Structure 1
């Protein structure tokens, strides 16, 4: 069974999507539609902007989403998923690719999500940190013992967990984790505490938009960050998507469940190869690949 996975924020690079634009009339049309929907030329930044330009919140998330979704659409008959999943932002790409959301609704939600997250980041100085070489349960315990808001946020693969919260609490947690034996605990260059309780204002902002969007039956099950299990009911997909901003990304558990349910290969659709690396760390025997067009 073929699993298709969609990357999240951080996978962007200067020049992303230009090959699709130049090789495919369908891709070109979708990129032009995206510029119209967003009200600015995101293609200018994607194709020729600097890495710094691509870091702008209103650009980063739509850019990664567009690269993934447009690639899935130009694959045509080659895109035949038995199951899909996306890492954080990538879940929106997965839902458009598997027919739950329209291209326009997906892009509008991603744009609103980026802006809502930016506003939430401005309320409290907050950040995230990568913790390497420690059992998940011990990281969770140290976070619980640490004063202030700090929680496990991204379960990326065994031995790699990202924590998230108020800046001072994350700093304290990093010191505590190193004392307890973590190989590394390092602050990440991110704008705020994604997938933590500090994103509650963004969740509320996005909840209304998600409620008003049309969710269709998927062409195949989606393994969502919040639940980690195969989901096919539009109402359940919608509910999980609302809680995604404040809940952890359970990537390790999602991939394990996909394998348990019969996945034999994982194809990454979008920029970079981060998810292929994580899949290999979760199960070395899995076949992985990048999607692409000739």
Structure 2
């Protein structure tokens, strides 16, 4: 069974999507439509901007979404997923690919999501940190004992967990985790505490937009970050997407459940190969590849 997986923030690079734009009339049409919907030329930033330009949240999230979704559409009849999943932002890309959301509706949600998250980041100084080489339970226990807000945010693969919260709490947790034997515990260059309670203002803002958007029955199950199991009910998909901003990304558990349900091949759709690397660390026997048009 083929599982198509969609990357999240951090996979961007200058020039992303240019090959699609230049070689496919459908891709060109969708990119131009995206420029109109967003109210600025995101293609100019994607194709000719700087790394700094692409790092701005209001650009990064739509850029990765567009690269992933347009690539899935250009694949045409060869795109036949038995199941899908996306890492954080990538979950919205997956929902377009499996027929739950229309392209235009999803792009508007991604734009609102990015702006809402940016606003939430500006309310309180916050950050994230990568922790390597410890059991998940140890990281969770240390975070629970720290004063302030710090929680497990991304369960990326066994031995790799990202924590998220206010700056002082994250720094204190890193110190404690190193003392407990973490191979690394380093603060990441991100704008805020994604997938933590500090994203509550963004969750409320995005929830209103999601509730007004039509969600259709999917063509195949989606394994969502919040629940980790196969979901096909539009109401449940909607609910899980709303809670995703303040809940952890349970990528390890999602991939394990996909394998348990019959996934034999994982195909990454979008920029980079980060998810392929994570899948191999979750199950070294898994077959991984990049989608190619």
Same fold, TM-score > 0.5, yes or no: yes
Please name the residue that 2:194 is paired with. 194
Please name the residue that 1:216 is paired with. 216
Please name the residue that 1:242 is paired with. 242
Question: Aligned ranges for residues 12-31 of structure 1 at < 5 Å?
Answer: 12-31=12-31
Please name the residue that 2:283 is paired with. 283
Give the SS at the match of 2:248. Answer: coil
Please name the residue that 2:266 is paired with. 266
The question of 1:179 aligning with 2:159 is answered no
| In structure 1, C-alpha distance between the alignment counterparts of 2:65 and 2:286, rounded to whole Å | 25
| In structure 2, C-alpha distance between the alignment counterparts of 1:98 and 1:36, rounded to whole Å | 24
Please name the residue that 1:41 is paired with. 41
Please name the residue that 1:59 is paired with. 59
| In structure 1, C-alpha distance between the alignment counterparts of 2:58 and 2:150, rounded to whole Å | 26
| In structure 1, C-alpha distance between the alignment counterparts of 2:135 and 2:63, rounded to whole Å | 34
| In structure 1, C-alpha distance between the alignment counterparts of 2:195 and 2:86, rounded to whole Å | 14
Give the SS at the match of 1:228. Answer: coil
Give the SS at the match of 2:27. Answer: helix
Please name the residue that 1:227 is paired with. 227
Unaligned runs of 5+ in 2: none
Please name the residue that 2:147 is paired with. 147
Deviation string for 1:42-86 (max 9, x for gaps)? Answer: 000001111111011110000000000000000001100000000
Unaligned runs of 5+ in 1: none
| In structure 1, C-alpha distance between the alignment counterparts of 2:219 and 2:132, rounded to whole Å | 36
Please name the residue that 2:253 is paired with. 253
Relative to the length of structure 2, the TM-score reads 1.00
| In structure 1, C-alpha distance between the alignment counterparts of 2:226 and 2:112, rounded to whole Å | 20
| In structure 1, C-alpha distance between the alignment counterparts of 2:124 and 2:161, rounded to whole Å | 22
Please name the residue that 1:82 is paired with. 82
How far did residue 153 of structure 1 move?
Answer: 0.1
Relative to the length of structure 1, the TM-score reads 0.99
The question of 1:157 aligning with 2:118 is answered no
| In structure 1, C-alpha distance between the alignment counterparts of 2:119 and 2:35, rounded to whole Å | 23
Question: Aligned ranges for residues 102-117 of structure 1 at < 5 Å?
Answer: 102-117=102-117
| In structure 2, C-alpha distance between the alignment counterparts of 1:131 and 1:150, rounded to whole Å | 13
How far did residue 292 of structure 1 move?
Answer: 1.2
| In structure 1, C-alpha distance between the alignment counterparts of 2:244 and 2:80, rounded to whole Å | 26
| In structure 2, C-alpha distance between the alignment counterparts of 1:218 and 1:29, rounded to whole Å | 24
Kindly report the root-mean-square deviation, in angstroms, between the aligned alpha carbons of the 2 structures.
0.3
* Structure 1 residue ranges, 4+ long, deviating more than 6 angstroms after superposition: none
Question: Aligned ranges for residues 82-101 of structure 1 at < 5 Å?
Answer: 82-101=82-101
Matched pairs, number:
293
